[in-house]
Amino acid sequence: MNSQRPVNLDLRTIKLPVTAYTSILHRISGVILFLGIAVLLFGLDKSLSSEEGFAQVKECLTSPLAKFVIWGLLSALLYHLVAGVRHLIMDAGVGETLEGGKLGSKIVLVVAVILIVLLGVWIW
């Protein structure tokens, strides 16, 4: 069978538009939030179980690794929130054109980066 259609399986050569990157990041941030909820619920359960558990969680949250994990989870939350607001705005009929979608994606990335940097400053 001789197929004349092009086949490009080298992912490094595929050029995606900015809208694809924001969509992929939105999905990834949702998965991170889903998995992060388990970590946060474990910490909440441990902190509510006893005074010793609360002290352990409090001590754990002062470590740099815990701060990094919390920063990662909150960063995913902020990005997911900003991208979700963009989707709500698009559902209202604003920015549905190709140019509007590209501009909205760029705005999402800029606003999310600014908020994530400010969040990092606040945590540390």
pLDDT along the chain (124 residues), means of 10: 71 87 97 96 97 96 95 97 97 94 97 97 92
Distance CA(102)–CA(19), nearest Å, equals 6
Q: Provide the residue ranges of all domains of the chain, joining segments of one domain with +.
A: 17-123
Interacting residues of 78 by C-beta distance below 8 A, sequence separation 6+: 112, 115, 116, 119
Q: Could you say which of 3.40.50.300, 1.10.3720.10, 1.20.1300.10, 3.30.70.260 is the CATH number of the domain covering 17-123?
A: 1.20.1300.10
**pTM (2 d.p.):** 0.86
Q: What pLDDT score was predicted for residue 1?
A: 60
Q: What pLDDT score was predicted for residue 120?
A: 95
CA distances from 30 to 81, 82, 94 (A): 10, 12, 23
Q: Please give the helix or strand (H or E) that residue 84 lies within, else none.
A: helix 64-91
Binding-site residue numbers for heme are 80
Binding-site residue numbers are 80
Distance CA(86)–CA(59), nearest Å, equals 38
